Structure 1
Amino acid sequence: MTLMDNRGELDKQARQAVTAVPVDLTEAPPAHEVTWRDPVTGADGFLVVQTLVGGLATGGTRMRKGCTVEEVTDLARGMATKTATFGLPVGGAKGGIDFDPKDPRAMGVLTRFCEAMRPWLDRHWITAEDLGVSQEQIDEAFAELGLSQSYHAAIGRSADPERALARVRAGLHVQTEDELPLPLGDVIGGYGVAQACLGTAVALGWPPSTTTVAVQGVGTMGGGAAWYLHEAGVKIVAIADAGGTLRDPDGLDVPALLAARDEYGEIDRSQVPGSVEQLPRDAILASEVDILVPAAVSYAINEDNVADVAARVVVEAANTATTAPAEDELTARGVPVVPDFVANAGAAAWAWWLLQGQVGTDPEDSFRRLRNEMQSKVAVILEAWTSDRVPPRTTARGIAQANREALAGAEIIVP
């Protein structure tokens, strides 16, 4: 049975999952764990493969000072659940490097890490950008190693790898047709987060035009989410980057602020209007808004600051943005958390659709499919919350469980 033949069964079992006893698919130890030490700088790097489906796993590579194998393991578990939630026939993995991405030696460290992981990148691991690592840097490292593209492991399974590579490259680099003139591959993840927020508003009966949002982070996820929410008429009242929080209760000029980002993704304060209040970075968490979007670092909401959270809903754009004890406290307070493996799954889902030829070079086709799939999943998990106070993460794990069972034995096809 092929994946496309199995699609109806996936949808049926996903709907049934909300009444099933959920199982955390990632309780098992990782399938594989690889550690590495850079011979030049001494930086440590990690690859954690939580699950393999048909011999493949997907997950980005991050770089930050202080990155640990425990963090990468958490992220790999999240990726495994993410791919299952969206019914993707691929497992979950993550790469991480303990090194400052602003250090001029960072590109060399990344390239040597990829070279060390080449046996995985050749046949099993599909990687992409993540915190501290851009897709351009990933592509540069792959080019230096003589690999075609970071989807290399999947493309190599195609009957016609050259045609598959051309299709993927065309889809990744097609320009969007809105006022955000960036390649579709750079914005689709943030667009998915925006749709998770819009789906949340609709599910809870809030008109988007009167819904307020605060976004922590202005990178690929946070910046893209803020852009598309602003475009949809949602009021973004606070944004935070490494330099602090910018707040305007009347709504920020999101396009102007994003245009003022420097090479490190921080907003140039000299271009911020005087009417915008400038606050400490962590003030974003205390924003009195309908939706808080943590889109920066992992564990941004934790036991030390969860009491400060004043939003009515948290939509996780960053991976593992909320610690488990903090989420338990929010749930007890009546604040649902839309988990990262739903809200930020847009880029991973879209990449697989592109690999399989299910979307092409028309951005609207990709936007439409992601919009429909994201909003429908958010509707299911929030319906269970509003009717029975079932935490969104619990329902979403049930969907992942049903999808993984339905995918068992499915043939992985890359045209």
Structure 2
Amino acid sequence: MATSKDPYLEAKKQLRSAVDILGYSDEIYEMLSTPERIVQVKIPVKMDDGKLKIFTGWRVQHNSALGPYKGGVRYHPETNLSEVMALAMWMTWKNSLADIPYGGAKGGIQVDPFQLSPRELETLSRKYFAGISKFVGVDLDVPAPDVNTNPQTMAWFVDEYSNRNDAQLFGVVTGKPLELGGLQTRIFSTGLGVATVAKQAAKKIFGSIEGRTVAVQGFGNVGFYTAKFLNEMGAKVIAISDVKGGIYSSKGFDADEIKATISKKGSMFVTDYPNYEKKISNEELLQLNVDILVPAAIENVITEENVSKIKAKLIVEGANGPTAPEAEEYLTKKGVVIVPDTLANSGGVIMSHIEWVNNRMGGWITEDEARNRLIQKMENNLDMIWNFWENKLDHEKYNLRMAAYGIAVDKVVRAMKLRGWI
């Protein structure tokens, strides 16, 4: 179960640690902890029953020192301003660390999209984007899919924006359908990125990824493709879960087979896959005796309450913020290596940048080129952070997250200084 901690306060704690490591002042901390702009929009939607319902949406633009704001838009009933502010800050560090010319932003609407009809969902999406349209643009802020949004959502966004500007501006969002300038690789890029850094980190810790046991929490887009590519890399995925619970098999699972089987049944839940040894809860999955744990569902699942039961030697964060700071401190002292979300799940935004550049060039890159660029960048970024951690930081005191934050925050601060902001 996720805790109810304020995600924005948690994000600021992480920033505070990075600022202290780098020796920057309190003034710089204040500059970095405060978003540059918060846009809140009221979204009235006439429902199918004729009633008018008001939804609230946000777009938080955290920092633009390195380039246009960049970050996804999520639809979720528990989304709130604090969460969106935290995610926007994390996007700043993620984009800086990935060495792509973007600042950080995030968007969200407090809504359960599964309770809306297709017409209601399209109306909600178009009105939200209309509400933030003055604050986004190809060179200003480039949204993308996130939780419960997808290429169809991006198609509505880009059409609404293009109509308002009397121009076909495909580069205003990424993660679009192929017919509107998207890339097939973008669909699985986050999961491929998670699997790639898991493989690279496993080489450093175990010597190889082959034969290593893995548990993946979450079987959405990120979790499924992470498991799929880990299968291809020779890892043994012995546990998978989703919101309904999980399944375990000591022989390992084939992610493609699970997906195909449950889809044929008209299901989205892994517990409807028949070939397993036992059903397990999400909490039990986290506590399995595996080499590698991939939390790829929601934030704050590894907490003070369960951290003493975590047995994995390597944790690769497919989700945003799945490890609470207090839990991470415990694991660091225990010698567990955590590949942080700022690096591990950055494959999506790296591929978004490739898509954005491709849109502006008129569509020159091939899918194979895009995939190879992503893999190379993820490998290089893991090596960069690992080398900084090994050579510049005390392992007993600092972990890979602080190495990542140190690199990312320092780059943003240097850009702010060059611009004359500080």
Is the counterpart of residue 336 in structure 1 residue 366 in structure 2?
Answer: no
Query: What is the CA distance between 1:342 and its match in structure 2?
Result: 0.5
Counterpart among 126, 137, 143 of residue 142 in structure 2: 126
Q: C-alpha separation between the residues in 2 aligned to 1:266 and 1:153?
A: 27
Q: C-alpha separation between the residues in 1 aligned to 2:369 and 2:320?
A: 26
Query: What is the CA distance between 1:239 and its match in structure 2?
Result: 0.7
Unpaired stretches in structure 1, ≥5 consecutive residues: 1-16, 155-164, 174-182
Unpaired stretches in structure 2, ≥5 consecutive residues: 1-17, 46-52
Is the counterpart of residue 112 in structure 1 residue 137 in structure 2?
Answer: no
Q: C-alpha separation between the residues in 2 aligned to 1:385 and 1:205?
A: 18
**Residue of structure 2 in register with 1:98 after alignment:** 110
Q: C-alpha separation between the residues in 2 aligned to 1:409 and 1:366?
A: 33
Are 1:87 and 1:403, in contact at CA under 8 Å, matched by a contact in 2?
no
Are 1:168 and 1:355, in contact at CA under 8 Å, matched by a contact in 2?
no
Deviation by residue 1:18-37 (Cα, 9 ceiling, x = unmatched): xx837697843011112223
Superposed counterparts of 1:105-254, under 5 Å: 105-122=120-137, 124-146=140-162, 148=168, 151-152=171-172, 169-170=180-181, 172-173=182-183, 183-254=184-255
Q: C-alpha separation between the residues in 2 aligned to 1:265 and 1:75?
A: 30
Counterpart among 17, 27, 34 of residue 39 in structure 2: 34
Is the counterpart of residue 266 in structure 1 residue 268 in structure 2?
Answer: yes
Is the counterpart of residue 76 in structure 1 residue 88 in structure 2?
Answer: yes
Are 2:339 and 2:400, in contact at CA under 8 Å, matched by a contact in 1?
yes
Are 1:258 and 1:267, in contact at CA under 8 Å, matched by a contact in 2?
no
Are 2:317 and 2:338, in contact at CA under 8 Å, matched by a contact in 1?
yes
Decide which structure has greater helix share: 2
**Residue of structure 2 in register with 1:14 after alignment:** none
Q: C-alpha separation between the residues in 1 aligned to 2:270 and 2:61?
A: 38
Bigger CA drift: 367-376 or 86-95?
Answer: 367-376
Query: What is the CA distance between 1:66 and its match in structure 2?
Result: 1.2
Q: C-alpha separation between the residues in 2 aligned to 1:235 and 1:386?
A: 28
Q: C-alpha separation between the residues in 2 aligned to 1:153 and 1:141?
A: 8
The Cα RMSD (Å) is 3.2
Bigger CA drift: 85-94 or 264-273?
Answer: 264-273
Is the counterpart of residue 61 in structure 1 residue 77 in structure 2?
Answer: no
**Residue of structure 2 in register with 1:324 after alignment:** 325
Deviation by residue 1:376-407 (Cα, 9 ceiling, x = unmatched): 32234345556741310111122214543665
Q: C-alpha separation between the residues in 2 aligned to 1:67 and 1:150?
A: 27
Q: Secondary structure at the match of 1:320?
A: coil
Q: Partner amino acid for 2:403?
A: T
Identity percentage of aligned residues: 26
Query: What is the CA distance between 1:206 and its match in structure 2?
Result: 3.1
Bigger CA drift: 282-291 or 370-379?
Answer: 370-379
Q: C-alpha separation between the residues in 2 aligned to 1:311 and 1:188?
A: 25
Are 2:85 and 2:106, in contact at CA under 8 Å, matched by a contact in 1?
yes
Are 1:22 and 1:397, in contact at CA under 8 Å, matched by a contact in 2?
no
Query: What is the CA distance between 1:364 and its match in structure 2?
Result: 2.8
Are 1:360 and 1:366, in contact at CA under 8 Å, matched by a contact in 2?
no
Q: C-alpha separation between the residues in 2 aligned to 1:71 and 1:150?
A: 28
Q: Secondary structure at the match of 1:190?
A: helix
Q: C-alpha separation between the residues in 2 aligned to 1:396 and 1:107?
A: 38
Is the counterpart of residue 398 in structure 1 residue 397 in structure 2?
Answer: no
Q: Secondary structure at the match of 1:70?
A: helix
Aligned pairs, number:
372
Q: Secondary structure at the match of 1:122?
A: coil
Q: Partner amino acid for 2:123?
A: G
Q: Secondary structure at the match of 2:35?
A: coil
Q: TM-score by structure 1 length? A: 0.80
Change over 3 Å in CA distance of 1:315–1:36 after alignment to 2 = same
Deviation by residue 1:276-331 (Cα, 9 ceiling, x = unmatched): 42122332211211111111112222333323322112111111222222222221
Q: C-alpha separation between the residues in 1 aligned to 2:22 and 2:266?
A: 44
Change over 3 Å in CA distance of 1:386–1:153 after alignment to 2 = closer
Query: What is the CA distance between 1:135 and its match in structure 2?
Result: 2.2
Counterpart among 88, 101, 106 of residue 89 in structure 1: 101
**Residue of structure 1 in register with 2:385 after alignment:** 381
Q: C-alpha separation between the residues in 2 aligned to 1:374 and 1:37?
A: 38
Q: Which has the higher contact order (CA 8 A, sep 6+)?
A: 1
**Residue of structure 2 in register with 1:298 after alignment:** 299
Q: C-alpha separation between the residues in 1 aligned to 2:125 and 2:177?
A: 25
Are 2:143 and 2:173, in contact at CA under 8 Å, matched by a contact in 1?
no
Change over 3 Å in CA distance of 1:353–1:253 after alignment to 2 = closer
Query: What is the CA distance between 1:372 and its match in structure 2?
Result: 2.1
Are 2:293 and 2:315, in contact at CA under 8 Å, matched by a contact in 1?
yes
